Amino acid sequence: MHLAGSGRVIIQLSKELVEGQILCDDKGTRVAKVMELIGPIKRPFASATPLTNNINKFIGKRVFMFEQSSANKPKKFRRNRR
């Protein structure tokens, strides 16, 4: 993970991610949210917005996809039409 001059972090990816994916450290602390995928297809990178004020302590460390359990996912409601 690299801190860009814009304040975003740049992360080299080893797995395919989607925009909006939350990234965490090995302890489960939410670190960043993927805003866009950049770079070549064979060696992709992600540009992410930090979710912590102390992002510098995570620079150079590995981050992982945050897995959200189905119990924590927000429910979608359908409006009944009459």
For domain 2-58, the question of CATH label 1.10.3720.10 is answered with no
Residue 37 makes CB contacts below 8 A (sequence gap 6+) with 13, 17, 19, 44, 45, 46, 47
Q: Where are the domains of the chain?
A: 2-58
Helix (H) or strand (E) holding 22: strand 22-24
CA distance 40 to 78: 39
* 1 vs 68 pLDDT, higher one: 1
Each as own residue / partner, the long-range contacts of residues 35-39 (CB below 8 Å, 24 or more positions apart, any chain) are 35/8, 37/13, 38/10
Residue type, 18: V
- Render pLDDT for 22-76 as a digit per residue (tens, 0 to 9): 999 989 899 999 999 998 888 899 999 999 999 999 998 889 988 764 444 444 4
